[in-house]
Amino acid sequence: MELLTTGEADIRRAADGIKAGLLVAFPTETVYGLGADAFNQVALARVFAAKGRPRFDPLIIHIASLETLDRLADLSALTPLMREKAAALMARFWPGPLTLILPKKPEVPDLATSGLPSVAVRCPDHPAALELIRLSTGAVAAPSANPFGRLSPTKAEHVRDQLGDRVDFILDGGRTSVGVESTVLDLSGGSSPAAAAPVPRILRPGGLSREAIEAVIGPVEFLAPGFSASEAAGISDPTAFTPGQSGPVSPGQLKSHYAPITPLVLYSPEAMASLAYSPGELFIFFSPKSRDSWLAVQNRTFPKDLIWTLSDSGSTLDGAANLFDLLHKLDRLEAAYIRVEAAPPYELGPAINDRLSRASTL
């Protein structure tokens, strides 16, 4: 593995690598991706092997311009209304943290889509990623650059530490800005009953909020995944979660995902407020406000580095940006448990809570 910068010459080397079938980890605005030529079956197989990812979990294909979309997706297979919504979303949010599931062109390798009739496409909002895509093959398949089931990388060193020599190049673009993966929105109607009019459906909450999407195309469906772990941990806040619903999921939306090694438990704000501290544990409050009210009722002080906050500003955008880096960091402290307060249920809160509930061990 060779570490590269995001300078022009290094991006060119990485792009040549992709053309030659190599694997290149690169920064996007969400998380680092593990990139390969989307039309090279051998390179795609190496992506699955490097991550230890099951082949039934399809990849997102990254593009740098709308012209490439034509090689991947068959927009004519959409209803006129859905086609209009797709165009409106691309115009408004690309480049950006939105992945669209669209009917696929037959030429797209089955390995990239796991044999599904649809393809996931996104245009990342990051200059180095766009340049890498442009200078290579124009279509770069890239899952998040972490071993299957583990924490996503928001820094080059997270990729190096977790994948090391299983990748050929890592482009170091510093810390990613959004911090959680793209929102995956299904426009293909794939999961609707044949008779029903297809409705856009969020398969994975992510870096683009539901509110932002609905402001452009109207109502979308989003069924939060089951929160059995949270329920077991006593979460009862109906505003933070929709317990017990197991909606249609993206093939990769497995319960045990995004997991640190240290056992992690997710709590509603109410449950967290009344939680008692036990030695060897780490607490992550969402904001200084909830941390301080909890501290105010403890009859003791705490040594440094036991009590954390996800967002010092209390905004869900900051919370998302900090999420994986904080979990990577705390995972190294070998605590008995990490106990985390859920984010509020708006903006990027649902994406944060989705990742935390999948990381939850109970």
Which positions touch ligand TXA (CB under 6 A)?
Answer: 28, 30-31, 33, 57-60, 99, 101, 113, 116, 118-120, 122, 124, 142-144, 181-182, 184, 203-204, 250-253
Which of Mg ion, ligand TXA, none sits in contact with 109, Cβ below 5 to 8 A by type? none
Pick between residue 228 and residue 253 the one whose CB is nearest to ligand TXA.
Answer: 253
d(CA 360, CA 342): 11
182 labeled part of a ligand binding site: yes
Among 40, 99, 137, 144, binds Mg ion (CB under 5 A): 144
175 labeled part of a ligand binding site: no
Least spacing, CB of residue 136 vs ligand TXA, in Å: 15
Residue, CB closest to Mg ion = 144
Which of Mg ion, ligand TXA, none sits in contact with 251, Cβ below 5 to 8 A by type? ligand TXA
Pick between residue 121 and residue 229 the one whose CB is nearest to ligand TXA.
Answer: 121
Binding mask of the shown chain, residues 41 to 80, with x at each position contacting Mg ion by CB under 5 A: ----------------------------------------
Least spacing, CB of residue 68 vs Mg ion, in Å: 22
Least spacing, CB of residue 273 vs Mg ion, in Å: 32
Pick between residue 255 and residue 288 the one whose CB is nearest to ligand TXA.
Answer: 255
Return the closest-CA partner of residue 321 out of 162, 152, 202.
Answer: 152
Asked if 336 and 278 touch (Cβ cutoff 8 Å), the reply is: yes
Least spacing, CB of residue 274 vs ligand TXA, in Å: 34
Least spacing, CB of residue 120 vs ligand TXA, in Å: 3
The Cβ-side half-sphere exposure at 336, using a 13 Å CA radius, reads 5
Pick between residue 59 and residue 342 the one whose CB is nearest to ligand TXA.
Answer: 59
Return the closest-CA partner of residue 34 out of 113, 146, 199.
Answer: 146
Pick between residue 144 and residue 162 the one whose CB is nearest to Mg ion.
Answer: 144
Asked if 101 and 186 touch (Cβ cutoff 8 Å), the reply is: yes
Which of Mg ion, ligand TXA, none sits in contact with 335, Cβ below 5 to 8 A by type? none
62 labeled part of a ligand binding site: yes
258 labeled part of a ligand binding site: yes
Say which amino acid occupies 211: E
30 labeled part of a ligand binding site: yes
Return the closest-CA partner of residue 341 out of 317, 329, 323.
Answer: 323
Pick between residue 8 and residue 161 the one whose CB is nearest to Mg ion.
Answer: 161
Interface with Mg ion by CB under 5 A: which range of 56-64, 141-149, 170-178, 259-267?
Answer: 141-149
28 labeled part of a ligand binding site: no
262 labeled part of a ligand binding site: no
188 binds Mg ion (CB under 5 A): no
> What's the chain look like in SS3?
CEEECCCHHHHHHHHHHHHCCCCEEECCCCCCEEEEECCCHHHHHHHHHHHCCCCCCCCEEEECCHHHHHHHECHHHCCHHHHHHHHHHHHHHCCCCEEEEEEECCCCCHHHHCCCCEEEEECCCCHHHHHHHHHCCCEEECCECCCCCECCCCCHHHHHHHHHHHCCEEECCCCCCCCCCCEEEECCCCCCCCCCCCCCEEEECCCCCHHHHHHHHCCCECCCCCCHHHHHCCCCCCCCCCCCCCCCCCCCCCCCCCECCCCEEEECHHHHHCCCCCCCEEEEECCHHHHHHHHHCCCCCCCCCCEEECCCCCCHHHHHHHHHHHHHHHHCCCCCEEEEECCCCCCCHHHHHHHHHHHCCC
Pick between residue 258 and residue 286 the one whose CB is nearest to ligand TXA.
Answer: 258
Pick between residue 119 and residue 271 the one whose CB is nearest to ligand TXA.
Answer: 119
Least spacing, CB of residue 203 vs ligand TXA, in Å: 5
Which residues belong to the annotated binding site for L-threonine? 30, 62, 122, 142, 182
Which residues belong to the annotated binding site? 30, 53, 62, 122, 142, 144, 152, 182, 204, 258
